[in-house]
Amino acid sequence: MAAVPGGASTVVQAKEALKPRAIRSLQTSLKVPTRLRNRRKNAAFRRQGEWFFVPVSVWQRDRINEKYILHNEPLRRGTGKPHVVEQLYRVAGELVYVCPKYPNGVNEWQYQRMIKQDRKAAQWPWQAQRRNPRVYARGRVRHPDHATITLSDWHRVAMNTETETDTMRNVAFID
């Protein structure tokens, strides 16, 4: 189940609406045939659940520093079951502080204000994470609800557009 942005009235329209704009443009520029556009794998991407993996030979890639590659790293949106990526690399994004009470995170200013005003808040299990980073994946991607996929080289990770709907506006990609 997914919240679908826009006014889709068919399954095909809904699947297209869930693709990020860059993926739809890429399909067009690569001339992916209409019959292949909603498969889990085509020339433009691999997909597992809500995540799209685009070969970096297609998108320009950030320079990947091997010593910062994370192994068996969870990739998640909100509090759901994470997809586990064999090799993952993150770049940039907004620094946020996350805890069970604030799973979508609060920015630095909100965090500092909160822990000054409430001594109990300072004791919560906060973790510094990044909202909307550029993420790259390589290797096996596992999830209990999906077949494992293997990315033989680096792929840029993109989340579907479900969070762009009004019903999902308070869900964030925090990684």
Residues 1 and 42: their CA atoms lie apart, in Å, by 22
Residue 2 is assigned to a structural domain of this protein: no
Compute the average pLDDT of residues 19-28.
90
Range of the domain at 63: 49-168
Residue 4 is assigned to a structural domain of this protein: no
CB 27 within 8 A of CB 51: no
Q: Could you give the number of structural domains in the chain?
A: 1
Residue 78 is assigned to a structural domain of this protein: yes
Higher-confidence residue of 4 and 155: namely 155
Instruction: Give the confidence band of 172 by pLDDT, cuts at 50, 70, 90.
Output: low
Please state, rounded to an integer, the average pLDDT across all residues of the chain: 86
Residue 33 is assigned to a structural domain of this protein: no
Instruction: Give the confidence band of 130 by pLDDT, cuts at 50, 70, 90.
Output: confident
Contacts of 142 (CB under 8 A, 6+ apart): 83, 84, 148
Residues 91 and 33: their CA atoms lie apart, in Å, by 32
- DSSP H helices, 35-151, are 108-117
Phi first, then psi, for residue 66 (nearest 5°) are: -55, -30
Instruction: Give the confidence band of 161 by pLDDT, cuts at 50, 70, 90.
Output: confident
Residue 66 is assigned to a structural domain of this protein: yes
Residue 74 is assigned to a structural domain of this protein: yes
Could you report the per-residue pLDDT of 25-81, keeping only the tens digit for each? 999 999 999 999 999 999 999 999 999 999 886 556 678 888 999 999 998 876 678
Residue 120 is assigned to a structural domain of this protein: yes
Q: Give which of 160, 158, 165 is closest to 3, Cα–Cα.
A: 165
Residue 3 is assigned to a structural domain of this protein: no
Q: What is the pTM of this model?
A: 0.76
Instruction: Region of 93 please: left (phi>0), alpha (psi -120 to 50) or beta.
Output: left
